[in-house]
Structure 1
Amino acid sequence: MKKIKGILVITLVLITTVSLTGFAASKDATPYKQFESNIPGVTEEMLYPEFWIKNTSSANKTIATLSEIEAYNKNNIEQCEPIVDLEKYPERFSKEELVQLIQGFSMPSTSPRYNKNGEQVGEAYYKILIENLNLDNLSDQNDVKYGIALRRTEMRTFPTDDRLFSSPEDYNIDRLMETAIYPVEPMVILSESKDGEWYFAQMYNYLAWIPSKDVAITDKSTLFDYINSKDFIVVTGKRVYTNYNPLKPEISELQLDMGVRIPLASYEEVKGSFYDQNPSGNFVIKLPTINTDGNLAFDYALIQRLDDVSIGYLPYTKANIINQAFKFQGERYGWGGMFNGRDCTSFMLDIYRTMGIKLPRNSSEQGKLAAGVFYEMSETMTIEEREKILDKLEPGAGLYMSGHAMLYLGKYKDEYYMIHDFSGFYSQTEGNVTYTPAWSVAVTPLSILKSSGDKYITYMEALYGVRKFILEE
């Protein structure tokens, strides 16, 4: 017995020694490095939100309360023309008004465009697209309809799935792609394409063509009673999915992107099981579907309780803004929402939607038209003057230059940093300028270069302004 005890003691000592040695080795080991980053000034520690949260003061202090955010959104509707209040949208349009709206939006490009086969399209091609606008069949007076998006889909310049590019070799930027739309997005429908497969629709910050198969039609009262449900969850992860449902493919593993606001089923609506699955460990959400008449109906789906979602909006804090931004780090850039991703402005938009803040869709609208405190940077402003403005900023502000939106992260060791969704940048070494493609969400300093005519300037020099999404200091 003593011999056995001795063996047990020796064995336990060996196990403990190996465990502690293993822990010490892993703790002190050099972090795994697969490649050398070619983004200048960015270290490994900067790739994590905690670094930037620690680098700022009062990270968890509330920037604005829910009532202040509601006031901000109301102000945005009043002063920013691209943002509309769908509940107060016009009930009808004359033929002349609709023709003007559609023709002002769906215009053939004056620049060369190429299809997916690399062939240049011409007048005959655009004539077919214009025919499908269905302008001749509009009534003298046209009542609007109300709808809601059933799944992630696209809004496009013309009612077509065709892809057009600026060059035969391009595949990153479809020039007919306007924006991605997520499930549970309400809209007003103004007209229908000639082939019946598209709606010309207005969502709160965009007007374009959307596939009719991805929309359920309903009446105004039903739509907004549902949309304005007081009990809801918000998707706070890059994306989450509903649980698999073998009987309802339309709501099975449905993709829900960051910022999607989904009404919760009421206590009375939650029963023992949903399509044979016990709801324990899940949230029961109420999703829009289509009934046999093609109109809006509702069904129930489950989202795992520990998925990256929030009951109600996230508090509007610097820590939450930074955390939300870094959930997209490394995601492929998607012009208008191509490649199941997002572009620079929808990157900003989706982050802020998790806190209940509604921003315009495009970069010029966010930078120049949105409500909030704006710091202008004129072309004649020096680097030192620009730095003084940034020194007054907190992380989370929007940085804007022509055609691009970025999220400010802060200053570290005399360098200013941002996280953004972008195509690439230039670097200069010993007089040689090289281009580095990105097509991704990444952390970079503002000292990286971009082309400007026949020269190269830093992003810092290219900024025309900075916007804080609050009504006052």
Structure 2
Amino acid sequence: MFNKKTGIAAAALLLLLLWMPGKAVSADAAENVPNVIPEMLTADFWIDKLPEPDQVIMDGEEIASFNRDIIRTQPELIYDLTDYPASLNKERLTKLVTMRPFPDEDRYSNGRLVDWAYYQNLKEQMNLPGIGEKNEVAYGVTVRRTNIRTFPTSDESLSEPDDKEFDLFQETAAGPAEPVLVLHHSLDGGWCFVQIYNYCGWMPAADIAVAKDKESWLAYVKPSEYLVVTGNRLGLGFPGPLPVELTMGTKVPLAGGREKGGVVPGQAKDYEVLLPVRGANGELLTETALIPGGADVSIGYLSYTRANIIRQAFKILGERYGWGGMFNARDCSAFVMDVYKSFGLMLPRNGDEQERSAGVTVSFEDLSTRQRYELLDTLLPGASLHTPTHELLYLGRHEGLYYVIHDITSYGDASRPNPDGTLGKIVLNRVAVTDLSLPRRNGMLFIDSLTGGKQIQTRAGSSDSSSDYNVSVYLNGTLVDFPDQKPFIDVSADRVFVPVRFVSEALGAQVEWVREEQKILINKDGKQIALYVGRKEVFVDGRKYTLDVAVRLVNGRTMVPLRFVSEALGAGVKWTGQGSGGRVDITG
């Protein structure tokens, strides 16, 4: 068909003139976004609202364990490549290579309608007859940022002749120094069918250097000491004739396993790293490169704190939107993925997969707008928020509005409604800060489009860092053993929270969870009590009572303030402070 390289180069030049990665976003970037003021376009604005922004959420061992949980929950999507089978049989490899069918709707390429003969040529290039009974896996590393395609071609596939923002053959992008497993080759040898840790598809063979064996590959991809790029992008002029750009989350070995001294006396130390290069026969070689000591990098992964999550997100603020990694950019889920990659977290590629992955999840399904905002109060900044087609990072609340940072293409113009209920289009096409009352093109507010929220952390670490777990609960003189979520003191609210189910059932009540309404129903001695996650109101036999703090969902458990136990369940409660914690005695 045709080659896109010339067009992409021109687009990249234009993009470079319009926007330079890493540059601060000017105040006027907020002008066409309602309810956003220039001060909100800095990470510190949101970090200053956090009670303990530098509290570690998970350490390195906990993150490694969390990654294993991700692999267990989505074994067909996320892989520890070091444990991948050394070979694949014909049935499994054929299933992988043919997992994405050819489109049955009209597609356009280079302004022309694609015919069926084109797909037949693609099928020939997929080289299905070349799949043997046993297919050895080869071990490679990307030498530059590259694309993973649906089929072995760089030809665009558009639903409309001029809609060049969405090439539907573009699956995702992989950064430089990314470990890849080569599973198969195209008929002409120009493409490899590869598996990276969270995606598979066709990658240009010229972008992969293949190790001679697994041992030499492991030596490169699992170094004892390494540098992680923590800036949005880091440009290097060496090695090779073309500049090398390392993107956020890229991990490269430190040469010799140690830092090297700066070449200019009195300046910060430079880092000597090993970059992968492709030899004359496609083999994996390395060349040494110096990264300036003042560059935005880290020895090892960044410390996983809420402040660092927000800082990483704001380093990408203003960057152009790129579907599937087009235009050397990111889309909404890749934006979230790369932020968390800075901490060593192996998130799935797509937003719906991330929503189903490991972590602490809340559901917005079937809630009113007010209930949705109340549920947001149970989440912490840095949580990912999900709609069926979009993903956002939660920043927090300011003057009654709830804000996010996300890679957004457009939103709806309420002043230009269409007869079918949709709204006129206001294009952003970049990473931006907005609030959740912003309308979408379909007329719904973002808040009303949310399906779920995700705290990317283990259940043990899912409560606010201002919580004190030094709380013991005794029921009629016997210490209560809570199997998972423990009672805690919310220091900021000065209230004790207990798991409502365990306390209620211990007092002889029956408890029912109504997921659709985020509601707990408690029945005891003919009395029915209803309470809702994120709300202060409690209804006892239809009569409303108001608690001083809202009910919370923590680690899948509904947590209520201790006052609820005495007022709604009719139990006697005594609190005895003991140092930073205390003892609760419940009688009933």
Report whether the alignment pairs 1:263 with 2:249.
no
1:249 to 237, 240, 258: 240
Map residues 316-355 of structure 1 onto 2, 5 A cutoff.
316-355=304-343
Cα distance in structure 2, aligned partners of 1:363 and 1:272? 42
Alignment of 1:118-133 (within 5 A): 118-133=111-126
Gaps of 5+ in 1: 1-31, 274-278
Structure 1 distance, partners of 2:281, 2:125, is 25
| Distance change in 2, residues 1:103/1:430 (3 Å) | closer
Distance (Å, rounded) in 2 between the aligned partners of 1:36 and 1:287: 38
Change (3 A) 1:114 1:357: same
Alpha-carbon offset, residue 33 of structure 1: 6.2
Partner of 1:240: 234
Which residue does the alignment assign to 2:450?
463
Call closer, same or farther: CA 1:160–1:430 in 2, change over 3 Å: closer
Report the counterpart of residue 385 of structure 1 in structure 2: 371
Residue of structure 2 aligned with 1:437, choices 403, 427, 433: 427
Q: Does 1:176 align with 2:172?
A: no
1:49 aligned to which of 39, 43, 54: 43
Against the structure 1 CA distance between its residues 213 and 416, is the aligned structure 2 distance closer, same or farther, given a 3 Å change threshold?
same
Match runs of 1:119-268 below 5 Å:
119-218=112-211, 219-242=213-236, 244-245=237-238, 248-249=239-240, 253-266=243-256
Give the letter aligned to residue 422 of structure 1. Answer: I
Aligned to 2:406: 420
**Distance across 2 between alignment mates of 1:230 and 1:336:** 32
* Distance (whole Å) between structure 1 residues aligned to residue 209 and residue 51 of structure 2: 46
TM-aligned CA distance change 1:447 to 1:140, over 3 Å: same
| More RCO (CA 8 Å, sep 6+) | 1
Question: 1: distance between equivalents of 2:301 and 2:214?
Answer: 25
Counterpart-to-counterpart distance in 2, 1:36 and 1:163: 33
2:35 & 2:105 partners in 1: Cα distance?
Answer: 38
Pick closer, same or farther for the CA change 1:280–1:143 going to 2, 3 Å: same
Within the candidate set 74, 78, 86, 2:81 is matched to 86
Contact persistence 2:383–2:393 (CA under 8 A): yes
Shift of 1:259: 0.6
Deviations 1:17-67 (A, max 9, x none): xxxxxxxxxxxxxxx865871211111111111111112221111111111
Contact 2:425 2:441 in 1 (8 A): no
Deviation (angstroms), 1:139: 1.5
User: Match of 1:298?
Assistant: 286
SS of 2:334 mapped into structure 1: helix
AA at the equivalent of 2:122: L
2:54 counterpart residue number:
60
CA contact (8 A) 2:145 2:174 kept: yes
Instruction: Report the structure, 1 or 2, having the larger helix content.
Output: 1
Contact 1:424 1:437 in 2 (8 A): yes
* Contact 1:45/1:51 (<8 A) preserved: yes
RMSD: 2.3
The residue matched to 1:129 in structure 2 has which SS?
A: helix
TM-score of the aligned structures, taking structure 1 as reference length? 0.86
Distance 2:227 2:416 in 1: 53
Q: Distance in 2 between matches of 1:351 and 1:174?
A: 24
Question: What is the aligned length?
Answer: 429
Aligned partner letter, 1:311 = I
Q: 1:57 to 1:288 in 2, by over 3 A?
A: same
Q: Contact 1:332–1:440 at 8 Å: present in 2 too? A: yes
Per the alignment, do residues 292 and 337 of structure 1 end up closer, same or farther by CA in structure 2, a change over 3 Å counting? Answer: same
**Counterpart of 1:348 in structure 2: which amino acid?**
V
Tell me, in whole angstroms, the C-alpha distance in 1 between the residues paired with 2:351 and 2:326.
Answer: 17
Q: Is this contact kept in 2: 1:427–1:448, CA < 8 A?
A: no
CA distances 1:193-213 after superposition (whole Å, capped 9, x unpaired): 001001100000000000111
The 1-side partners of 2:268 and 2:405 are apart by 38
Q: Distance in 2 between matches of 1:99 and 1:431?
A: 48
Distance 1:317 1:269 in 2: 25
Asked if 2 retains the 8 angstrom alpha-carbon contact of 1:447 and 1:459, the reply is yes
Report the Cα distance in structure 1 between the residues aligned to 2:246 and 2:27, rounded to whole angstroms.
33
SS at match of 1:441: strand
Q: Which moved further from structure 2: 225-234 or 125-134?
A: 225-234
Asked if 1 retains the 8 angstrom alpha-carbon contact of 2:224 and 2:257, the reply is no
CA deviations over 1:211-253 (Å, ceiling 9, x no partner) = 11110111211111221112111111110022x34xx425x63
Q: Match of 2:148, as an amino acid?
A: M
